[in-house]
């Protein structure tokens, strides 16, 4: 492979990465929408946002299903951050729902 072909290959791979990133963004936003729905329900039921047993199960599932090249602990760290952001939007939805329910 010469330098020109190598540059074309880099460009092709970067385009593919951009497409994958777009899918990841859509999926993360869908995940956040589900977290908002759960937050609204928890707000109605007065349930706590933080569910350590659920978080542990999600992280275990992520590590178990990770096939690489990222290893389980790397994927776990990524999902810890995703869960933090999901919890943030869930909490906001629960707070909004609780206020709405209280003001009736």
Q: Which pLDDT tens digit goes with each residue over 67-96?
A: 999 999 999 999 999 999 999 999 998 888
Number of structural domains (the chain) is 1
State residue 71's pLDDT score: 94
Provide the residue range defining the domain that includes 74: 3-103
Residues 6+ apart with CB under 8 A from 48: 42
Q: Which residues of 17-53 are buried (b: 16+ CB within 10 A; e: fewer)?
A: eeeeeeeeeeeeeeebeebbebbbebbeeeeebeeee
Peptide bond into 69 cis (omega under 30): yes
30 has pLDDT over 70: yes
Mean pLDDT of the chain: 93
**104: pLDDT strictly greater than 70:** no
To the question of pTM greater than 0.75 for the whole model, the response is yes
The enclosing domain of 49 has a CATH number of 1.20.59.10
Q: How far is it, in rounded angstroms, from Cα 83 to Cα 99?
A: 24
Least confident of 19-28, 37-46, 53-62: 37-46
């Amino acid at each position: 492979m010469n330098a020109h072909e190598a540059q074309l290959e880099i460009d092709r791979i970067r385009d593919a990465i951009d497409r994958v990133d777009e899918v990841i963004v859509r999926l993360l936003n869908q995940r956040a929408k589900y977290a908002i729905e759960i937050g609204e329900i928890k707000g109605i039921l007065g349930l706590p946002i933080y569910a350590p047993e659920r978080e542990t199960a999600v992280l275990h599932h992520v590590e178990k299903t990770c096939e690489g090249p990222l290893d389980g602990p790397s994927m776990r760290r990524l999902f810890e951050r995703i869960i933090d952001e999901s919890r943030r939007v869930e909490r906001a939805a629960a707070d909004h729902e609780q206020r709405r329910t209280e003001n009736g």
